[in-house]
């Protein structure tokens, strides 16, 4: 029997609201009656996000413990189905129904989702899909719950608990969550064309660090957006903005942005200080120092000299300072 998603009040803390598989927070909702608590998520990210936990399998009435589920394709029924591993129960419709309810209720306020890795319900990447006849798996699917949520909120940043142990993937996810938060804050208010131009200007360096071509295409769209349908402007910009941040950046791209930012100080600081900054940027490019080192020195000079245009760039602080220690490699 399918249950309705529990309601939860909007947070007044200003933290991004992020959905999360309940087992990652230490809740004993796994098929074996246990959990897969991720300490980084439960102890660190919980300080910066307002989590909305969910276990779709428990929510549709499956007990704890319970038979394992798997995705199956082929046979007499079309499409990919969510079945018990013994094949005696098909819970696809129940899962899709709950996912639609949950996505309708929670989706609009979500700014990200952290899923249980490889789960046939919640997995985001490379979930096993078994062939009905041969029983052979392919790692090409995604969980049913996540699929429905993605259909409802196609731009929502999603990733998996295990993948967030990788510093590069973790930084990319955090960057996308806070970027999506800023994006939604813009368009959920009474925005104007001028507001969009200012937003795009502030995001310039961040976008350049991820996708130079995407930044320029968005810039052309913003410049030509005057007089166009507001819904079209919002939809096109949001899609382009989030797609530009989808692929993790690289040290080479970050180095280009850091050098670009350093150029604003070229005639404002002595040659010795310019060389010190250049050496730190080179050290980062070579993997000798973390990116936080040249960034910190850059911000010091920019604040001291009150270079307001550059200080407004979200690249310098794309998310709260407490999260800086988890990346900048």
Judge if 174 and 241 occupy the same domain.
yes
9: in domain: no
Query: What are the structure tokens assigned to 117, written together?
Result: 């890795």
Domain C-terminal end among 98, 131, 165: 165
143: in domain: yes
Judge if 196 and 155 occupy the same domain.
no
Judge if 123 and 174 occupy the same domain.
no
Cα distance between residue 251 and residue 219, in whole Å: 24
Judge if 202 and 324 occupy the same domain.
yes
User: Which residues, listed in sequence order, are joined to residue 17 by a DSSP beta bridge?
Assistant: 50
Closest CA to 207 of 185, 184, 175: 175
How many CA atoms are closer than 13 Å to the CA of 151, on its beta-carbon side? 12
The string of pLDDT tens digits covering residues 114-159 is 999 999 999 999 999 998 867 788 878 899 999 999 999 999 999 9
Cα distance between residue 26 and residue 167, in whole Å: 22
Omega cis (within 30) before 65: yes
Cα distance between residue 175 and residue 321, in whole Å: 12
Cα distance between residue 17 and residue 110, in whole Å: 5
Judge if 171 and 236 occupy the same domain.
yes
Judge if 171 and 161 occupy the same domain.
no
Q: What pLDDT score does 78 carry?
A: 77
10: in domain: no
Domain C-terminal end among 165, 200, 220: 165
Cα distance between residue 238 and residue 139, in whole Å: 30
Q: What is the pTM of this model?
A: 0.92
Q: What pLDDT score does 327 carry?
A: 64
- Inter-CA distances, 238 with 94, 103, 183, 213, Å: 32, 19, 7, 16
User: Which residues, listed in sequence order, are joined to residue 73 by a DSSP beta bridge?
Assistant: 80, 131
**Distance of alpha carbon 83 from its chain centroid, rounded?**
29
Q: What pLDDT score does 12 carry?
A: 42
71: in domain: yes
Judge if 66 and 85 occupy the same domain.
yes
* Sign of the four-CA dihedral 120, 123, 129, 130: negative
Chain position carrying tokens 């798997």: 70
Domain C-terminal end among 165, 190, 210: 165
Judge if 154 and 184 occupy the same domain.
no
5: in domain: no
The string of pLDDT tens digits covering residues 105-116 is 999 999 999 999
Question: Coil, helix or strand for 152?
Answer: helix
Contacts of 149 (CB under 8 A, 6+ apart): 19, 99, 102, 103, 107, 113, 156, 158
**Distance of alpha carbon 8 from its chain centroid, rounded?**
21
Q: What pLDDT score does 138 carry?
A: 81
Chain position carrying tokens 């410049």: 223
Helix (H), strand (E) at residue 217: helix 212-223
From first CA to last CA, the distance across the chain in angstroms is 48
Domain span including residue 81: 17-165
What is the number of structural domains in the chain?
2
pLDDT tens, per residue, the chain with 329 residues: 444 444 333 434 589 999 999 999 999 999 999 999 999 999 999 999 999 999 999 999 999 999 999 999 976 677 899 999 888 899 999 999 999 999 999 999 999 999 999 999 999 999 999 988 677 888 788 999 999 999 999 999 999 998 999 999 999 999 999 999 999 999 999 999 999 999 999 999 999 999 999 999 999 999 999 999 999 999 999 999 999 999 999 999 999 999 999 999 998 999 999 999 999 999 999 999 999 999 999 999 999 999 999 999 999 999 888 787 766 56
Q: Is the separation of the CB atoms in 270 and 300 below 8 Å?
A: no
219: in domain: yes
11: in domain: no
Judge if 197 and 270 occupy the same domain.
yes
Judge if 110 and 172 occupy the same domain.
no
Q: Are strands 127-131 and 69-73 parallel, antiparallel or unpaired?
A: parallel
Which letter does DSSP use for residue 49 in this model? S
Cα distance between residue 166 and residue 249, in whole Å: 13
Judge if 21 and 159 occupy the same domain.
yes
Judge if 118 and 174 occupy the same domain.
no
1: in domain: no
């Amino acid at each position: 029997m399918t249950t309705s998603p529990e309601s939860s009040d909007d947070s007044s803390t200003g933290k991004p609201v992020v959905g999360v598989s309940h087992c990652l927070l230490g809740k004993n909702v796994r098929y074996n009656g246990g959990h897969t608590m991720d300490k980084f998520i439960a102890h660190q990210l919980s300080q910066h996000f307002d989590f909305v936990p969910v276990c779709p399998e428990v929510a549709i009435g499956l007990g704890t413990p319970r038979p394992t589920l798997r995705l199956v394709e082929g046979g007499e029924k079309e499409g990919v189905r969510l079945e018990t591993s013994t094949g005696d129960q098909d819970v696809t419709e129940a899962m899709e129904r709950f996912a639609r309810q949950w996505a309708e209720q929670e989706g609009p306020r979500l700014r990200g989702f952290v899923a249980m890795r490889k789960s046939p319900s919640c997995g985001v990447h490379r979930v096993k899909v078994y062939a009905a006849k041969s029983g052979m798996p392919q790692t090409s699917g995604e969980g049913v719950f996540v699929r429905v949520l993605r259909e409802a909120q196609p731009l929502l940043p999603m990733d998996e608990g295990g993948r967030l142990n990788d510093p590069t993937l973790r930084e990319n996810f955090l960057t996308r969550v806070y970027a999506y938060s800023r994006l939604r804050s813009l368009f959920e208010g009474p925005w104007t064309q001028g507001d969009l131009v200012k937003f795009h200007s502030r995001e310039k360096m961040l976008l350049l660090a991820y996708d130079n071509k995407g930044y320029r295409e968005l810039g052309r769209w913003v410049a030509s957006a005057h007089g166009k349908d507001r819904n079209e402007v919002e939809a096109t910009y949001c899609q382009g903005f989030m797609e530009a941040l989808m692929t993790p950046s690289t040290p080479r791209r970050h180095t280009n942005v850091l050098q670009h930012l350093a150029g604003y100080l070229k005639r404002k600081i002595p040659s010795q200080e310019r060389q010190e900054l250049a050496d730190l940027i080179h050290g980062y490019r070579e993997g000798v120092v973390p990116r936080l080192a040249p960034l910190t020195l850059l911000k010091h000079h920019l604040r001291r000299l009150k270079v307001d245009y550059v200080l407004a760039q979200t690249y310098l602080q794309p998310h709260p300072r407490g999260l800086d220690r988890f990346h900048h490699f």
